[in-house]
Amino acid sequence: MSQEQATRYPIVLVPGLLGFVKLVVYPYWVGMVPALRRGGATVIPVMVSAMNSSEIRGEQLLGRIDEILRETGAAKVNLIGHSQGALTIRYAAAKRPDLIASVTSVAGPNHGSELADFFELRFPRHTARGRLLNAALLFVGWVMHRLDTGYRGTRLPTDLDAAHHSLTTAGVALFNRQFPQGLPQIWGGQGAEQVNGVRYYSWSGTLQKGRTNRVLNLLDVTHISCQIFARTFTKERGQSDGMVGRFSSHLGTVIRDDYPLDHFDIVNQSLGLVGKGANAVALFLEHAARLKAAGL
């Protein structure tokens, strides 16, 4: 077996909003876990509340990290978070940097999501359409919980309003004032590579005409959704993955912010139906090799 991805510390994968471990037989991180394990890495996808604040999710993650360290005998873990998972792992690293070797944000709304701002403005929770949207999301979350065969723990608490606020520009700005580790000092810049002994990395994608909307992605419902959602962006119009803006995703060392991948493609969802020339699994393999080379 290859050892190219055999990092010193276990890799812990943390999902975003409405996240899961495995829906019946369909994993959140499509193809990632077996590929990394073939490369020698210890990889553990975890579950936190599918809908809740980044702080609550972060506390849940810290509890899970304690369990992982006891189970593996490792001193630290490498955290990789997708979407809101990026905020979740940032919280954990800020609270317990002694337990975290690295934080990697994958399409993380590290400065908030313009899509979340749009829904807050157009679907206020006290209005009929806001209540209808919330009811629909809560139902989806309930169904996904019932179908999640990869998580066997107790049911985790749900707070949709807290989850939504945690993703808005205002909500993330408040979060960032408390947990600024790894954030760029200037818009669109790079952040500190290392803070309190923790290495910070990020990468993300953008919708690109003629690239992300080609081949099998034309049949991908999640990709079509991202194309529709991208129309809500103003500050980063034409520079988003459909849910998170290119520069809003920056954290620590920015590996790249314009992969031809939408918000779901970047973790290889929709059974790997991605745009032409894109390979999300390869990005994770390359990053594990990067972590290994850094002694992490």
In the block, residue with structure tokens 């001193």: 75
Catalytic residue (one of 148, 241, 257, 265): 241
Q: Are 163 and 52 in contact, with CB atoms under 8 Å apart?
A: yes
Distance CA 165, CA 182 (A): 22
Q: Which of 49, 53, 54, 83 is catalytic?
A: 83
Please say whether the dihedral angle defined by the alpha carbons of residues 107, 108, 112 and 113, taken in this order, is positive or negative: positive
Dist. CA 130–CA 124, nearest whole Å: 5
- To the query of whether residue 161 is one of the catalytic residues in this protein, the response is no
Matching residue, tokens 């990889």 = 43
Choose, from 82, 165, 223, 263, the residue flagged as catalytic. 263
180 CB-near residues (< 8 Å, 6+ apart): none
Is residue 166 annotated as part of the catalytic site, yes or no? Answer: no
Amino acid (one-letter) located at 153: G
What size, in residues, is the chain? 296
263 is annotated as an active-site residue: yes
**Rounded to an integer, what distance in angstroms lies between the CA atom of residue 274 and that of residue 218?**
9
**Catalytic residue numbers?**
83, 241, 263
